[in-house]
Amino acid sequence: MAELLDRLQRAELPAAAQAFRAEVKDFIAREMPPLGADVRARSWMGFDAAFSRKLAARGWVGVTLPKAYGGAELDAFRRFVLVEELLAVGAPVAAHWIADRQSGPLINKFGSEAQKQSYLPRICRAEVFFCIGMSEPNSGSDLASIGTRAVRTERGWVLNGRKIWTTNADKCDYSIALVRTSGLPADRQAGLSQFIVDLRLPGVTVRPIVDLSGDAHFSEMFFDDVLLAGDALIGQEGQGWQQVNAELAFERSGPERLYSSVVLVDAWIRWMRRNGQIEQHAETLGRLLAHLATLRQMSIAVTAKLAAGESPLVEAALVKELGTTYEQEIPSIVEAALGASPGQPADPELLRAAAYLSHMAPTFSLRGGTREILRGMIARGLGLR
Ligand SMILES: Cc1cc2nc3c(=O)[nH]c(=O)nc-3n(C[C@H](O)[C@H](O)[C@H](O)COP(=O)(O)OP(=O)(O)OC[C@H]3O[C@@H](n4cnc5c(N)ncnc54)[C@H](O)[C@@H]3O)c2cc1C
């Protein structure tokens, strides 16, 4: 118990991060038109390379990377503030999101000097975009069983296999793929490695997948005898599992795991104000806001651990599990409240946002690791399994 309490120490955003918030708000006010709730609901899924380049020109892509490689060298707290403000207005950040959040930091941590010099400055200028090649048709939760394989030859590594659910693969330049370099799927974690795969190489086919809401934001990737140069291997051969786990702490802890549908609460409050309904739903609203404040505090606590150079896997899993449960509840809570007053039909923008988020909500607890897997990790972290 004491260990658990130590892990969940309350942390504050430092004054420098709070001051930085004003700078970000100022940038957004100048560079982004206000968007309707139904567009903001796309949140961090909106892909706009030109907007990413504007942010990069301001120094805000690859924000935690060293200045020596073109980064802004901001601490994790200021990154948290930047992300919060961008999500709050529904900025179309998807183009650079993965590189900023995990591929860049991964290359910085495990990559060779040549890889850092080659990729990091281009990431920071938003010239190249990355996607995550982990899941396969039969290996999603069970990542250790992946079968895509790279074989070392005299010419370089030859890659064969298939990845699925790769967000924005069709619009990205590179994927960091987790693949098997030795042994069999039965050997589990042993023998996995990570490669930077140039998606324009011969033998790579990317096929978009249309989702329930009609968007095609993720794809299948096919690798047929793709010849990778020797320096495509990132980090050490056979260390892919450990590297991926360090990467997942970045993926799971951020504000994007809480805020996917908060825009709906925002739009609902505005509608209730106009229609004199706040009092009728004050209790529901109070519960939603108290819940959000607590989750945000937990996310800041995980950010403090990242800022201290730790890899808080279990804590990040906890924030993601609770955060995505919260994000998933919002559409049904708001729709139930709207349905309670059929005499006052909601405006179309609010209804469109609610419809989109209802479609998307089931995915919130899948992307980045499913609820059951995270609960297993939390139980293990608490010594219960
Ligand atoms: C919107 C979205 C974007 C995504 N983007 C990417 C991406 O960019 N790159 C990428 O690599 N992947 C991506 N994914 C894939 C995602 O990470 C996987 O869908 C996820 O890991 C689950 O894998 P699966 O779909 O194969 O389900 P399965 O692993 O087959 O799981 C099916 C069900 O069984 C449960 N289950 C599985 N194993 C256990 C167990 N041991 N104990 C208890 N329950 C279990 C799961 O929790 C789940 O409910 C994305 C997914 C979504 C929805």
User: For a substitution probing ligand 1, which of 135, 139, 363 has the most ligand atoms within 8 Å of its CB?
Assistant: 135
Whose alpha carbon is nearest atom 18 of ligand 1?
140
Q: Is 186 exposed, middle or buried (0-12, 13-18, 19+ CB in 10 A)?
A: exposed
Q: Which residues pair with 206 in a beta bridge?
A: 221
Over pLDDT 90: what percentage of the chain? 81
Do residues 12 and 115 share a domain?
Answer: yes
Is the minimum distance from the CB of 373 to ligand 1 under 6 angstroms? yes
Do residues 97 and 212 share a domain?
Answer: no
Whose alpha carbon is nearest atom 48 of ligand 1?
370
pLDDT of res. 5: 61
Which regions of 229-337 does DSSP assign to beta strands (E)?
233-234
pLDDT of res. 164: 98
What is the Å distance from ligand 1's center to 365 Cα? 9
Reported as a single tens digit per residue, the pLDDT across 87-144 is 999 999 999 999 999 999 999 999 999 999 999 999 999 999 999 999 999 899 999 9
Q: Does residue 263 contact residue 330 with C-beta atoms inside 8 Å?
A: no
Q: Read off the pLDDT of each residue in 184-191 and give the average, rounded to a whole number.
A: 85
Is the minimum distance from the CB of 234 to ligand 1 under 6 angstroms? no
Residue 1 has pLDDT above 70, yes or no: no
Which regions of the chain does DSSP assign to beta strands (E)?
130-133, 149-153, 156-167, 174-180, 192-198, 204-209, 218-228, 233-234
Residue 8 has pLDDT above 80, yes or no: no
pLDDT of res. 3: 66
Is the minimum distance from the CB of 363 to ligand 1 under 6 angstroms? yes
What is the Å distance from ligand 1's center to 135 Cα? 7
Do residues 124 and 137 share a domain?
Answer: no
Q: Read off the pLDDT of each residue in 277-285 and give the average, rounded to a whole number.
A: 94
Q: Domain of 52?
A: 7-128
pLDDT of res. 367: 93
Total residue length of the chain: 385
Residue 244 in any domain: the answer is no
Q: Tell me, what CATH number does 80's domain have? A: 1.10.540.10
Q: What is the pTM of this model?
A: 0.94
pLDDT of res. 2: 57
Residue 246 in any domain: the answer is no
Q: Read off the pLDDT of each residue in 217-231 and give the average, rounded to a whole number.
A: 95
Contacts of 39 (CB under 8 A, 6+ apart): 46, 90
What is the Å distance from ligand 1's center to 288 Cα? 27
pLDDT of res. 256: 86
Q: How are beta strands 192-198 and 233-234 bridged, if at all? A: antiparallel
pLDDT of res. 7: 72
Residue 73 has pLDDT above 70, yes or no: yes
Mean pLDDT of the chain: 93
